[in-house]
Amino acid sequence: MIATDDIPRLYDPALAERVRHAIGQVPGSGGVHGGVGVLAQKLAQIQGSARPQLQKPQLVVFAADHGIVARTASVYQANVATLRVRNLLAGNTVASMFARRNGLALTVVDCGLHADFEPHLQLIRIKMARGTLDSSRGAAMTVGQCRAAMARGTRLVTRLPGNVLLLGETGMGNEAAALLMSRLTGVPIAECTGFGNAGRAREFAVLQGALDLHAGISSPVAALTALGGLEIAALVGAVLQAARQRRVIVVGGFITTAAVAVAARLAPALLECCVFSHGSPANGHARWLQILGAEPLLDAALCTSESCNAVLAWPLLKAAEQLLGAAAQAD
């Protein structure tokens, strides 16, 4: 069994009233209904303090390969995860540049890539397989692999300092995320992927075939095992542990949202720790956030990299922290 009963509800009405009153005393803040004011209230509830402190923020990018991609993507696309990881580690991506300039520690996690990499200070290997199997022909993982990936994601977070975890991913995991969305929410797969033309009929048929093959599976861990990716499983473990430690969890995109949605089925209270950077109208992402009852900070992605969008949320978090600092002085 996966222990989740140690993730309680956080909302404290007395603290909420105190913070609302304090923010209302700051001229020009927009009050508690302004975007930064709403975020400030969330930070206060996560840390249980009217003056939270954001310490040693960690940008953690999870990467893995997916067996189903061989049937839905070109050979070049199938190698995207490896290429992106190499660029991240070389510091050549917008996400890595923004992380450096904003004082965010960057860790790249190999959860199940086909390729191997030379040792690197920012690379952690937790993989137990070189990618998943093709979920349209069988289960993507074994139950043991899924649970092991979750456990390794949990242990990873326990080793990271700080109280802010910015979640990113890199690779070709959108198919797995779309499959999980469809299975967990009942939304048709075409609406989870943004398929808009007949040219993608083959991809749609493969994904629908995966759902049909696993039609009898509905529990979150079983769905993750059958349809998900190793990086999503590791993310589930990471999110659960971050919530236990009352870290601020910044959710950077569609794939990380899939992990949060699975984790929230196990421990709904963890959503109180989550801040969602954006919702993309290009696929089912924005709709999934609505189903989760989540309000993204940004209306749409500002970068093509989901990890980059997580980083772009950081200045807003700092603004909320500063607002609460000013509110404490004015109160």
Q: Mind telling me the catalytic residues?
A: 306
Burial 42-69 (b: 16+ CB within 10 A, else e): bbbbbbeebbbebeebbbbbbbbbbbbb
What separation, in Å, do the N-terminal and C-terminal C-alpha atoms of the chain show? 46
Q: What tokens does 322 get?
A: 């500063």
**What are the counts of helices (DSSP H) followed by strands (DSSP E) for the chain?**
16, 6
**Contact call for residues 310 and 59 (beta carbons, < 8 A):** yes
> Which residues does 113 contact at the CB level (< 8 Å), separation at least 6?
63, 64, 65, 81, 82, 85, 127, 130, 131, 171
Element at 320 (helix H, strand E): helix 314-330
